[in-house]
Structure 1
């Protein structure tokens, strides 16, 4: 059998502070009905002052290690667009918090597609024999980077972290990641971006506006690209692993907008009842959204051993990616708040 990366454990967490649509409506000119109709979101969680992305990542990582029944790994990969600081990377700090001293750790930035990119990087290390076990974490705190007066972003994003432990196994066993389809489009980098803080903005030496410190997003164009890229990537991935849309028992897409999820499923002819929706509870948690959705679905019994599961993601960059697996029999605990 060929060596492959196998899902062995999951862990997830969100901050303690829940922010419902009624509270958002007191900040932004909107209401609960408008938010639910346009996005499907009813609630999101925002981190308290003093909490950083690495703090959430460490909790989710610890939960994933417990789920897998292990206390060490050979690599730590943190997918995030909101690291603790621009330099150094946050992953080594997370590894240290988990007692994984000396274990190589690095950050990976692919926006909302970061978790799938992280899975591919981990799978490559395992397939090549460089690692036996890898901890992949997706974590973001966007609440500190949102303009409270920008309805396009303020109502959508929540904070959270989700993690997975991958172990070496063979491609025929449940939980094996069967393949990947990844892509990017830098020509559309300005559809979702954070202007301030990078070398581009600093080298231009232009006066820094308050708005440059906040996430900017062109929602209608993002919607169109997200549907096209997620559907295309998913179809390419299914073709490469020998599945059809009819074979997919659960479709787990990046949790940005319920209309995007349903439209992608419709394009692919995957019945909507097979689509896992979790954003109604936590909003768009960026790189954390897929592991959070997987954890919630597993705990609620919507994911059961043997089901064919398709994961697909899309984010700024533009970046996108998909993978697939047969769901394994693993122990998963509920999403922790802290």
Structure 2
């Protein structure tokens, strides 16, 4: 997959996409049971009608399925490095990426995990692109995989209504900075002042050390967030980030043919589309059938949109996400004639 590119013209180019979602579909009706609120309420508040939930599969399992699809789509059997973006690791130690690389037949290539909340895929793109542009690697497999249902309190039906499980992957190759599929300028940022707004407080060094001698609160093992505050900040944050990335690419917001944003909540997507002044249909969305798949949401969305023909060669596309940390990121690309291998379970 290596390509000879003149000095200063080397870019990271999308070469193939893959996605995998578990086969089990959990509908709003199943989730709500006999509660007074049901499908109509969840759709109105969140935009989700159903979600996929892993049944016996873990984060690395999903990552391998998506990664294999991306490699197949790129017409290759391996990459020079593997990066796994996740906030639901199978274990605290070791990282999952080496296992993903081994199971995909990539041997002893460099492999590491990246944790940046729901912005993990955008941060992963930035890191992987830098690895290629530097000349150190000719190809990188980036996988974003989350089995976030494992970190949702089973007694919290509203949180369970938001999230689903899935994995998406992309193979990046060395190419020319100005060819279709080359990732454009990035905008990445963070604000640790808001670290407590989205968190899983238990399980880490802080909880173990500061809770020494006392039984850890079992609820601390599950995800919690301040939804109303995060919703407002996510809209403003992604709007600002997309605007910066788009302008750095030399485009106006009106030049965008499509925006693939983190699928957090349909209200957030609608608010972002309005803030960006997008014309109808330009904000991609699959949240109705898949929910919020955390770091995996953007790559799964991209793979499905590419496979369906929604994303077509020559379209100007912006990618953006906002999540725990707080952390956010955006980039741009002219969509290439690229394959996507999707596995809907």
TM-score, normalised relative to structure 2: 0.95
Query: Hey, what does 1:187 align to over in structure 2?
Result: 193
Query: Hey, what does 2:217 align to over in structure 1?
Result: 209
**Partner of residue 162 from structure 2, selected from 152, 156, 179:** 156
Q: Which runs of 5+ in 1 are unaligned?
A: none
> Aligned equivalents of 1:140 and 1:328: distance in 2?
27
- After superposing on structure 2, the runs of 4+ consecutive aligned residues of structure 1 that deviate more than 2 Å are 27-30, 148-152, 333-336
- Within 5 A, what are the aligned runs for 1:282-301? 282-301=290-309
Query: Hey, what does 1:330 align to over in structure 2?
Result: 338
**Cα offset for 1:253?**
0.3
> Aligned equivalents of 2:73 and 2:20: distance in 1?
13
Query: Hey, what does 2:276 align to over in structure 1?
Result: 268
Q: How many residues in Structure 1 have an aligned counterpart in Structure 2? A: 336
Query: Hey, what does 2:87 align to over in structure 1?
Result: 81
Q: Deviations over 1:197-230 (max 9, x none)?
A: 1111111024311211110111101101101110
**Cα offset for 1:172?**
1.2
Q: Which SS does the other structure have where 1:177 is aligned?
A: coil
> Aligned equivalents of 1:216 and 1:39: distance in 2?
16
Q: Which SS does the other structure have where 2:25 is aligned?
A: strand
Q: Which runs of 5+ in 2 are unaligned?
A: 1-5
> Aligned equivalents of 1:270 and 1:189: distance in 2?
30
Contact 2:70 2:341 in 1 (8 A): no
**Cα offset for 1:144?**
1.3
Contact 1:28 1:150 in 2 (8 A): no
The alignment status of 1:36 with 2:43, answered yes or no, reads yes
**Cα offset for 1:239?**
1.1
- Within 5 A, what are the aligned runs for 1:120-135? 120-135=126-141
CA root-mean-square deviation: 1.2
Query: Hey, what does 1:171 align to over in structure 2?
Result: 177
Q: Which SS does the other structure have where 1:272 is aligned?
A: coil
Cα separation, partners in 2 of 1:327 and 1:255, compared to 1, 3 Å: same
Contact 1:194 1:213 in 2 (8 A): yes
Cα separation, partners in 2 of 1:34 and 1:54, compared to 1, 3 Å: same
Q: Which SS does the other structure have where 1:126 is aligned?
A: helix
Contact 2:32 2:157 in 1 (8 A): no
> Aligned equivalents of 1:3 and 1:29: distance in 2?
57
**Partner of residue 55 from structure 1, selected from 58, 61, 67:** 61
**Cα offset for 1:336?**
3.3
**Partner of residue 321 from structure 1, selected from 325, 329, 336:** 329
> Aligned equivalents of 1:289 and 1:193: distance in 2?
18
Q: Which SS does the other structure have where 1:309 is aligned?
A: strand
Query: Hey, what does 1:220 align to over in structure 2?
Result: 228
The alignment status of 1:23 with 2:30, answered yes or no, reads yes
Contact 1:266 1:272 in 2 (8 A): no
**Partner of residue 204 from structure 2, selected from 190, 198, 203:** 198
Cα separation, partners in 2 of 1:323 and 1:28, compared to 1, 3 Å: farther
TM-score, normalised relative to structure 1: 0.97
Contact 1:226 1:314 in 2 (8 A): yes
The alignment status of 1:110 with 2:128, answered yes or no, reads no
> Aligned equivalents of 2:42 and 2:82: distance in 1?
36
**Cα offset for 1:331?**
1.6
